[in-house]
Amino acid sequence: MELPFLHWLRENIPPAPNVALGIGDDAALLNQQSSQQTVVTSDMLMDGTDFILQDCGAAAAGRKALAVNLSDLAAMGAKPVAAFVSIAVSKRFGEEAALTVAKQLFAGLLPLAAEFECAIAGGDTNSWNGPLVISVTAIGEVPVGRAWLRSGAQPGDAILVTGTFGGSIKWKHLDFTPRVREALRLQSLATEVHAAIDVSDGLSLDLSRICAASGCGARVELERIPLSLEAVEYCKNEDDFAAATEHGLSDGEDFELILAVPPHEAERLLRDQPLDIPLTQIGWFTAEPGLTQQLPSGEVLPLQPRGYEH
Amino acid sequence: MELPFLHWLRENIPPAPNVALGIGDDAALLNQQSSQQTVVTSDMLMDGTDFILQDCGAAAAGRKALAVNLSDLAAMGAKPVAAFVSIAVSKRFGEEAALTVAKQLFAGLLPLAAEFECAIAGGDTNSWNGPLVISVTAIGEVPVGRAWLRSGAQPGDAILVTGTFGGSIKWKHLDFTPRVREALRLQSLATEVHAAIDVSDGLSLDLSRICAASGCGARVELERIPLSLEAVEYCKNEDDFAAATEHGLSDGEDFELILAVPPHEAERLLRDQPLDIPLTQIGWFTAEPGLTQQLPSGEVLPLQPRGYEH
């Protein structure tokens, strides 16, 4: 399968001006600038775990595999440069069917790559008797010292989030927009971001990871969590939003960003709303470790991090 | 499985001075120098295709997955910097067994990473119901303009090869040494290398790939191909070396280097033998496209590229 597919790839992958050498040699070559750091992230997605191929099709699976990696670059405040896409396609339905799946997979991810100026610069194409596996490594760059780590949150920093949360399983997990544009906009505004993460496993769980890495805690006002329509719809027959909030706090694969931003910077961002999607403050980081929730009455209770535990 | 495994990884992966930020965040950070280019290669290995897990064990599979990527870096003349290892481990025998496989896999690749000063800087850990899949992306660096492409061979260049060929399936495909040291030695000697490739699919097939990329042909003197003991052993009951030569020409996974080197440079290298393993000339590149073999009588016949076609 590899040879005809490589021919197809070469015809369908646009040239990438920022890639010195792309697909077709033993490795790709990327130019470096000493003013930048290379940012590298890898995610592997498997049929039956991260997508159901027969339900969503190979195009959606391919798109998702690239998108989750671009989301990780966004969480570092990095600009995408190139992605490397390795696949193992099932040949249980024959070589022809395997080739079709491979082409659909790339047809699904190439528009996303183009949208975020991420070259497809290499990878590995295989067929086997197992289910579809897609492994993507995305490479980006960020000016030296400007990467957003998980470990820089400080007590008093505002917890800002992009977009809305909950119910991603209905469709968003397959069709989300990685927050690359938002990250780059914040970088271009020289926004002071102390820490960041993308929400892959659940808002509360990923927030707890920033806290663990930063040696601090976080207090959340639950009623401020921006809920997606899909999360709210889960609960249309109920008389309160507790269940919807639970989805917002614990559903995985929202792929929104959580940012730790100092108060003065947060105030400005919340007022100016410089992104095309809402930025919302849901609480603040605390010196005491652990997650807490603050009720409208002012009462403070523990908040158990919940989400998708691998 | 992911969380206990990440703890184990952090305890077992040594710190890497050349990696600004390693495992544990959304992505890794590598420092850049504008005098260098980033070299990136990805290979995915699957149980049942590239190794048989129940025969070889997870340590050998893990080692091979890293080694094939380091071999690609060597084929570019690049120095390893960091590798990203994504795995999908079968949980059909339980979570505990999956964790054991994952640890063995890394125990197998970590010594190789240390030997070639390649940091393990990230990846993705998964368990599922399918067979073991290992996807590695290796990142290296090479001074600008010093990478060895497939496309630079010129008519008249000598075809030099490292090591010996054939019979790799007996053991070498699982335990080969990627020719990183040899590539870096040649780079440090400022050797003029016009083109290079590593032999993953067969000496004649990979040689034909250099020819295709360079727009030239190659003539091989079969009796000069350095055969491995394993290739020769295939044929101990035969009265000639034709069968052994066939193994040398077409067996995959030798992971030796083929180099296109101008004649004056080749003469010096063959005399000085600056590597710890033999460098051998097996022929020369020609202006006429295609592979040919030259018999001891001087007669020239076509040579069909053979090897592992994906």
CB contact under 8 A, B38 and A31: yes
**Does the CB of B122 have a partner CB in chain A at under 8 Å?**
yes
The predicted model gives B52-67 an average pLDDT of 97
Query: For residue range A293-308, what is the model confidence (pLDDT) as tens digits?
Result: 999 899 999 999 988 8
φ, ψ dihedrals at B15, nearest 5°: -65, 150
CB contact under 8 A, A26 and B129: no
A/B interface, count of CB pairs below 8 Å = 208
Cα torsion A18, A21, A23, A28 to 10°: value is -100
CB contact under 8 A, A130 and B43: no
User: What single letter denotes the amino acid at residue B113?
Assistant: A
Q: Which residue of A has its CA nearest to B27?
A: A41
Of A173 and A157, more confident: A157
**Does the CB of B49 have a partner CB in chain A at under 8 Å?**
yes
User: Rounded mean pLDDT of chain A?
Assistant: 94
pLDDT value at B237 more than 70: no
**Does the CB of B129 have a partner CB in chain A at under 8 Å?**
yes
Partners of A46 on chain B (C-beta within 8 Å) are 88, 126, 128, 130, 133
Q: Token digits for B127?
A: 């368990």
Q: Which residue from B234, B211, B191 is spatially nearest to B305, judged by alpha carbons? A: B211
CB contact under 8 A, A27 and B41: yes
pLDDT value at B122 more than 90: yes
Partners of B24 on chain A (C-beta within 8 Å) are 150, 213
Banded pLDDT at A7 (limits 50, 70, 90): confident
Other C-beta atoms lying within 10 Å of the C-beta of residue A62: 28
Min Cα–Cα distance to chain B from A122, Å: 7
pLDDT at position B239, please?
Answer: 59
Query: For residue range B13-26, what is the model confidence (pLDDT) as tens digits?
Result: 988 877 999 888 89
Cα atoms found within 13 Å of the Cα of residue A98, Cβ hemisphere only: 24
**What is this model's ipTM?**
0.94
Strands A257-261 and B119-128: unpaired
Q: Give residue for tokens 């989400």.
A: A307
pLDDT at position A2, please?
Answer: 74
Of A89 and B6, more confident: A89
**Does the CB of A52 have a partner CB in chain B at under 8 Å?**
no
The predicted model gives B60-75 an average pLDDT of 98
Banded pLDDT at A161 (limits 50, 70, 90): very high
pLDDT at position A238, please?
Answer: 61
Probe site for chain A from B6, B73, B120, B137 (most A CB atoms < 10 A): B137
Strands A133-143 and A300-302: unpaired
Those residues whose C-beta lies under 8 Å from the C-beta of residue A217, and which sit 6 or more positions away, are: A211, A285, A286, A287, A288, A289, A290, A291, A292
Cα separation, B36 vs A34, whole angstroms: 9
**Does the CB of B174 have a partner CB in chain A at under 8 Å?**
no
Those residues whose C-beta lies under 8 Å from the C-beta of residue A215, and which sit 6 or more positions away, are: A289
pLDDT at position A249, please?
Answer: 93
pLDDT value at B78 more than 90: yes
Hey, which residues does B46 pair with through a beta bridge?
Answer: B133
Cα separation, A13 vs A36, whole angstroms: 26
CB contact under 8 A, B25 and A125: no
pLDDT value at A99 more than 90: yes
CB contact under 8 A, A29 and B42: no
Banded pLDDT at B238 (limits 50, 70, 90): low
CB contact under 8 A, B32 and A43: no
The predicted model gives A9-36 an average pLDDT of 89
